[in-house]
Structure 1
Amino acid sequence: MARKHMTAIAAAGALALALTACGSEDDAGDGATDPTGSGEVSGDITVLTNRTDLVDTTFQEYKESFEAEHPEVNVEFEAVTDYEGDVSIRLNTQDYGDVLLIPNTVSKDQLPNFFLPLGTTDEVAETYRFVEEQAYDGQAYGVAITGNAQGYVVNKAVWESAGVTEPPTTPEEFLAGLQAIADTTEATPYYTNYADGWPLSQWQGNRGVIAGPETEQELAATDAPWSEGEEQYALDSLLYDVVDAGLSEPDPTTTNWEESKNLLGSGQVATMVLGSWAVTQMQDAAEANGGSADDIAYWPMPFQVDGTFRSTIGGDYKNAVSKHTENPEAARAWVDWFAQESGYAQSEGGLPPTVGGDLPDTLSEFEPLGVELVEIAPAPAGEESLLSDIYDTAEIDLWGNVYRQKLVDVARGAADGDKQSYFDELNQRWSDARAEVTG
């Protein structure tokens, strides 16, 4: 169940160009209208999902409940294993379902090319959180399926057996904790999930824990993000140091996402940086392997600002309505029902996408720690795609897996260089790209 990944760094640039070319404001058609309309909610709709593990079970229950409320609508699901790669390519056609999760390869200025607006950002924000994350020119295009906090999942029983009972407050304490696990237990301290790739992008979701809400504007404004004192440096440096110290799996090319759940649940692995969406899956794995869901906890990243932990929160994938749908009212009805009535966010241990929801039980460790929740501020008007333009031009897939896979390779000695030389290379590419984009 991939969250954010791309198949190759070269594909990122090529795909961005393809997406730009395949749609335009001129051919947006009904994309300029409100899809809620006043027509009868009826017709067949196809809903694309990345939840290959739920499509034949839980999602069939959703279908039954939704169709009971809307008997004139027939819902069919299409589960896509390589969601980012396959659906991003399909956006070059008109065949990408009626409701779909907005791929991360779509920049904000491209949203009108592929999706119908759901209303103004102000209107939609009266009901839903995280609206600005998929909005452009005052219009909202997506509703989050759930919300996530950022940090890392731990098998708390393993950490406690190594003498660590509280979340580390600094990178040094974090590394020391992993070393204690290596020295005193049989567990692998950290698991990269390198082979599947996309889990490495979860590190990027932690931007904001140091820099705060304006982190993306700061990133777009700097020529050297991989320099000491910068947030990007701090995050990627920590991953490098974990691998460099031999605290991750011996051969990252053999990792497996589905198996990693069992490994962490059973205590064979102690730690993985993932969004809070992963907690319930790890708890299920713990119970399936003879352990307890109570063994699994979610901790904030080992950085504090003025003595306070922070966790970046945001929406997960956003459901959107295809601009090519023949049944926009039915498609919009599914988007609203899924967010408000399906119970998906609660079952996933996620933050509710609706305004006013409470923290889930999966974040029970946060309250006594006084964790500050940080929501990323939207880019200023006219700069919605500035950051993505820079990293696409630099061919550095911040939300992908390629550049972090190379980071892991350098750290484990499977690629030339060291941390400084690789960070120098990234800074040069970033600086050149920023100069090209900003003129």
Structure 2
Amino acid sequence: MARKHAAAALAVMTALTLTACSAGEDTGGSSEGGVSGDITVLTNRTDIVDTELQDYVTEFQKVYPDVNVEFEAITDYEGDVSIRLNSQEYGDVLLIPNSVTKDQLPQFFEPLDTVEALSSKYRFIDEQAFEDQVYGIATFGTANGYVLNKKVWAEAGITEPPKTQQEFLDALQAVGDKTEAIPYYTNYADGWPLSQWQNNQGSFAGAEAVQIRDTQAAPWSDGNEQYAIDGLLFDVVAGGLSEKDPTTTNWEESKNLLASGEVSAMVLGSWAVPQIQGATETVGGAPEDISIWPMPWQTDGAFHSRVGGDYKLGISKHSDNKDAARAWLDWFVTDSTFAVDQGGISPVVGAESPDTLKDFEAFGVEQVELAPAPAGEESLDSDIYNEAEIDLFGDQYRRNLIDVARGAASGDRLSFFEDLNSRWNAARVANNG
């Protein structure tokens, strides 16, 4: 999976309405509601585009035999699709790039329904909504923390999640001292995995984390959530607890390294657990050794994990087959087994928790869903970080952080965070934050 961020170009929107087509029973050879047409679905899942995704199409066509689904798998999904948004050629159904800010949603995507209408059926609806219209529905939900090889940690004497950042650093040091594993792997070279650190917002500051940050003049100051997140990454690297040369890392290989126990941990979402468990089949190890634990801080004596929707499926406003596109979207998020197969949290309200989160249940980890932005402030956060040129959900500033931490760039922890705070506050004031 790739989650790079790139700037998306603006376009002019012509308002369109769409009648929802819901999935139903097999009609015995005739598409439900007479829906037909050819659609192209963009996906970041290059690993399963020729296997599992084709199986979903087979099941879908039992209900909609007259809809032909073609996938276009893209390795650098964020980068390539964000650029393609400049044109009208970005498929019929696609994962909404994270580079698209909420106020840009109407420029590129079809409205699916109101927040009120869809929130009774699906979770994480607010995450891709603007002015009470929903533009994307999550393919599945994900919990955030760090994925680890528990066998390696047990060899180092750690059998439960560290409760503080210092305990976490001590745990990684124990891994380095007592095992042959690399304690932490940054995935610096691919870049997009560094954005996974930001997905932990809310695990420290709670549901109002974004709103709190947007009022802060210096988020990268001791006691604030942003300082905790990025300070931990800085300390891991500065302490020599990550790979020796981050410029040579490789995402696909990192899954094998974690599965085999050559690496002990990476900050990722629960979506990564089944992928790494799957890698144990070819590189050795056992699937049960791979799990996800919460970030190393507690509030009121409990761990918290920010839970949110993964990529959201949306429909291109330029699609020539919007009914067929909507049929696929509705069926995929509601009736397919994709969420379960990926070890994810179902986007459907009331669904059971996946097996990938069994350790969360054992350690009493509480789930946190971020509160939606107040009306009129839907894009305030992105307005601030974009103007400050701090790609919170990208990779560049954390690459810079790693370079400073490992001594490959000038500066130190204090100067690096002071620069971030200065830029942030100037942008915050400019945007009336």
Which range, TM-score by smaller chain? over 0.9
2:160 aligned to 153, 163, 166, which one?
166
Equivalent pair of 1:34/1:116 in contact (CA under 8 Å): no
Alpha-carbon deviation of 1:127? 1.3
Alignment of 1:363-378 (within 5 A): 363-378=357-372
Give the aligned residue type for 1:48: L
Aligned to 1:254: 248
Alpha-carbon deviation of 1:105? 0.9
1:229 aligned to 208, 223, 234, which one?
223
Quote the Cα distance in structure 2 between the aligned partners of 1:368 and 1:272.
21
Quote the Cα distance in structure 1 between the aligned partners of 2:43 and 2:192.
16
Alignment of 1:109-148 (within 5 A): 109-148=103-142
More helix by share: 1
Give the aligned residue type for 1:194: Y
1:394 maps onto 2:377 in alignment: no
Aligned to 2:4: 5
Equivalent pair of 2:129/2:136 in contact (CA under 8 Å): yes
Quote the Cα distance in structure 1 between the aligned partners of 2:78 and 2:70.
20
Equivalent pair of 1:40/1:329 in contact (CA under 8 Å): no
2:43 aligned to 46, 49, 54, which one?
49
1:23 maps onto 2:23 in alignment: no
Alignment of 1:67-86 (within 5 A): 67-86=61-80
Quote the Cα distance in structure 2 between the aligned partners of 1:181 and 1:23.
54
Quote the Cα distance in structure 1 between the aligned partners of 2:15 and 2:125.
23
Give the aligned residue type for 1:234: A
Aligned partner of residue 68 in structure 1, secondary structure = coil
Alpha-carbon deviation of 1:40? 2.8
Equivalent pair of 1:41/1:72 in contact (CA under 8 Å): yes
1:429 aligned to 398, 413, 423, which one?
423
Deviations 1:382-416 (A, max 9, x none): 00000000001011000000000000000000000
Equivalent pair of 2:41/2:92 in contact (CA under 8 Å): yes
Aligned to 1:305: 299
Equivalent pair of 1:45/1:74 in contact (CA under 8 Å): yes
Quote the Cα distance in structure 1 between the aligned partners of 2:385 and 2:45.
28
Aligned to 1:9: none
Identity across the alignment (%): 61
Aligned to 2:184: 190
Equivalent pair of 1:39/1:329 in contact (CA under 8 Å): no
Alignment of 1:147-158 (within 5 A): 147-158=141-152
Give the aligned residue type for 1:377: A
Alignment of 1:394-413 (within 5 A): 394-413=388-407
1:359 maps onto 2:389 in alignment: no
Quote the Cα distance in structure 2 between the aligned partners of 1:353 and 1:35.
18
Aligned to 1:334: 328
Aligned to 2:273: 279
TM-score normalized with structure 1 length: 0.95
Alpha-carbon deviation of 1:278? 0.3
Deviations 1:276-303 (A, max 9, x none): 0000011111232221101111100000
Quote the Cα distance in structure 1 between the aligned partners of 2:91 and 2:349.
28
TM-score normalized with structure 2 length: 0.96
Quote the Cα distance in structure 1 between the aligned partners of 2:345 and 2:89.
31
- Aligned residue pairs: how many? 424
Q: Larger deviation: 285-294 or 222-231?
A: 285-294
Aligned to 1:414: 408
Quote the Cα distance in structure 1 between the aligned partners of 2:174 and 2:163.
16
Aligned to 2:54: 60
Equivalent pair of 2:18/2:322 in contact (CA under 8 Å): no
Gaps of 5+ in 2: 23-31
Quote the Cα distance in structure 2 between the aligned partners of 1:286 and 1:209.
29
Quote the Cα distance in structure 2 between the aligned partners of 1:245 and 1:271.
15
Equivalent pair of 1:36/1:118 in contact (CA under 8 Å): no
1:293 aligned to 274, 284, 287, which one?
287
Alpha-carbon deviation of 1:153? 0.5
Gaps of 5+ in 1: 7-11
Aligned to 2:27: none
Aligned partner of residue 103 in structure 2, secondary structure = helix
Quote the Cα distance in structure 2 between the aligned partners of 1:66 and 1:412.
50
Equivalent pair of 1:219/1:225 in contact (CA under 8 Å): yes
Equivalent pair of 2:21/2:330 in contact (CA under 8 Å): no
Equivalent pair of 1:194/1:252 in contact (CA under 8 Å): yes
Name the Cα RMSD after superposition: 1.3
Alpha-carbon deviation of 1:34? 3.9
